[in-house]
Chain A
Amino acid sequence: GAVVSQHPSWVICKSGTSVKIECRSLDFQATTMFWYRQFPKQSLMLMATSNEGSKATYEQGVEKDKFLINHASLTLSTLTVTSAHPEDSSFYICSARPLGTGTEAFFGQGTRLTVV
């Protein structure tokens, strides 16, 4: 149980284009999903917290117009990197917290984004 699926696992895109990453909780409902960014040999940096049906809360320094988050249902959240540039290349990871719990969060397998 508690499986979170993230798609795609990797993507290469041209500079200036947009990329959408999906995060799905497969066997549970999640009121809250989180999006992280991780640089090589560094820890996870929280980008934003999203709750189903409401606007995402972005961490300080994260451009909300560049990183669009939609949490349309209790099992799906998407992150769209708009007008991507090489500096947006990174490992993006989502996590989901099961409905009715306040603690454990389960992670997807991550998406490696490379902008060329």
Chain B
Amino acid sequence: EDQVTQSPEALRLQEGESSSLNCSYTVSGLRGLFWYRQDPGKGPEFLFTLYSAGEEKEKERLKATLTKKESFLHITAPKPEDSATYLCAVQRTGTASKLTFGTGTRLQVTL
């Protein structure tokens, strides 16, 4: 069974204080690893897809990296508007392509 574990569960940062969120996964054949951002009462917003170990993607203050066992979402010099829950999900090869989600990291960035 595919498993996705995210840590920490919650993270509070001051504006400008960089940090990383972790997503550990177990899947029998990774097709893709996804990062989403979810604001309260909203649906997830797509951020990145990573396909193979060593791959990196960046978007503004966010950078996602992937190894064979985990992914990191690095947040550089965060701003209050980066406050949200960040979700990680995996997709296994050879399936109908459904995603298995972790429970997310709730990020709060304060002034």
Interface residues of A (CB under 8 A from B): 2, 4, 6, 32, 34, 41-44, 46, 49, 57, 91, 93, 95, 97, 102-110, 112
Interface residues in B65-111 (C-beta closer than 8 Å to A): 87, 91, 96-104, 106
Which residues of B are found within 8 Å of A6, using beta-carbon distances? 43
B103 and chain A: residue at smallest CB distance: A43
Report whether A103 and B31 are in contact in the complex, using a CB–CB cutoff of 8 Å.
yes
Contact stretch, chosen from B12-20, B44-52, B55-63: B44-52
Report whether B49 and A107 are in contact in the complex, using a CB–CB cutoff of 8 Å.
no
Q: How far is the CA of A44 from the CA of B36 in the complex (A)?
A: 12
Report whether A103 and B49 are in contact in the complex, using a CB–CB cutoff of 8 Å.
yes
Report whether B45 and A102 are in contact in the complex, using a CB–CB cutoff of 8 Å.
no
Q: In the complex, how many angstroms separate the beta carbon of A107 from the nearest chain B beta carbon? A: 4
Report whether A109 and B96 are in contact in the complex, using a CB–CB cutoff of 8 Å.
no
Report whether B31 and A109 are in contact in the complex, using a CB–CB cutoff of 8 Å.
no
Q: How far is the CA of A107 from the CA of B100 in the complex (A)?
A: 14
Report whether A93 and B103 are in contact in the complex, using a CB–CB cutoff of 8 Å.
no
Which residues of B are found within 8 Å of A109, using beta-carbon distances? 42-43
Interface size, chain B (Cβ < 8 Å): 24
Number of residue pairs A-B, CB distance < 8 angstroms: 57
Report whether B96 and A57 are in contact in the complex, using a CB–CB cutoff of 8 Å.
yes
Which residues of A are found within 8 Å of B104, using beta-carbon distances? 43
Q: CB-CB contacts of B11-33 with A at 8 A, as 1s and 0s?
A: 00000000000000000000110
Report whether B32 and A103 are in contact in the complex, using a CB–CB cutoff of 8 Å.
yes
Report whether B41 and A104 are in contact in the complex, using a CB–CB cutoff of 8 Å.
no
Report whether B97 and A110 are in contact in the complex, using a CB–CB cutoff of 8 Å.
no
Q: How far is the CA of A17 from the CA of B41 in the complex (A)?
A: 24
Q: How far is the CA of A34 from the CA of B34 in the complex (A)?
A: 16
Q: How far is the CA of A110 from the CA of B40 in the complex (A)?
A: 11
Report whether B99 and A105 are in contact in the complex, using a CB–CB cutoff of 8 Å.
yes
Q: How far is the CA of A44 from the CA of B41 in the complex (A)?
A: 13
Report whether A34 and B98 are in contact in the complex, using a CB–CB cutoff of 8 Å.
yes
Q: In the complex, how many angstroms separate the beta carbon of B90 from the nearest chain A beta carbon? A: 11
Q: In the complex, how many angstroms separate the beta carbon of B79 from the nearest chain A beta carbon? A: 23
Report whether A103 and B44 are in contact in the complex, using a CB–CB cutoff of 8 Å.
no
B100 and chain A: residue at smallest CB distance: A46
